[in-house]
Amino acid sequence: MEAQPYTDDTVLLWGPHKFTRVSRIPVDYLLSLNKGNTHDKPLLAYIQANKEKLDAIARGETPAPQASKACDKKLFITQEEAKKELKRIRKLHQKKTKPKREYECPKCGGWHLTSLSLDEWERKLRSFK
Ligand SMILES: [Zn+2]
């Protein structure tokens, strides 16, 4: 399987910053990887593409991105986990509104469940901007 290139929102799946979005990982750590400490080629490509920005943050010239606030919704690390939970909930007999679908959270980079339809959701997203 060909690895996907990293973006700011890619969640690292190994190492001391496992489950952290790349843009939230301390730059010192990323820059240390760039010295040949990782075999994660897509991550290296990301670091090299953002080298100037990372160096500027390391020198204190650019503020580091703020650590994301923890979401109060139940967090799933992968889409598969969220889908599994969705399936489980569908089988339950409960009167309150059940979640309809999973979505990738723009705040924490994880996955949550929502009872909003895609249309309702897009409207909500637009209202944030
Ligand atoms: Zn979230």
| 83 and 63 in a common domain | no
**How far, in Å, from the CA of 68 to the mean position of ligand 1?**
9
**How far, in Å, from the CA of 112 to the mean position of ligand 1?**
7
**How far, in Å, from the CA of 127 to the mean position of ligand 1?**
17
Last residue of a domain, one of 42, 67, 92: 67
pLDDT in tens, 103-116: 888 777 788 999 98
Does residue 72 belong to any structural domain of this protein?
A: no
Does residue 100 belong to any structural domain of this protein?
A: yes
Give long-range contacts, CB 8 A cutoff, 24+ apart: 50-59.
54/27, 54/30, 55/31, 57/27, 58/27, 58/28, 58/31
Query: What pTM does this model have?
Result: 0.50
Last residue of a domain, one of 33, 67, 101: 67
**How far, in Å, from the CA of 96 to the mean position of ligand 1?**
22
Q: Which residues surround ligand 1, an ion (CB under 5 A)?
A: 71, 105, 107-108
Does residue 74 belong to any structural domain of this protein?
A: no
In which domain, by residue range, is 113 found?
A: 79-128
| 86 and 62 in a common domain | no
Q: How many domains does the chain have?
A: 2
pLDDT in tens, 30-63: 999 998 878 899 999 999 999 999 999 899 888 7
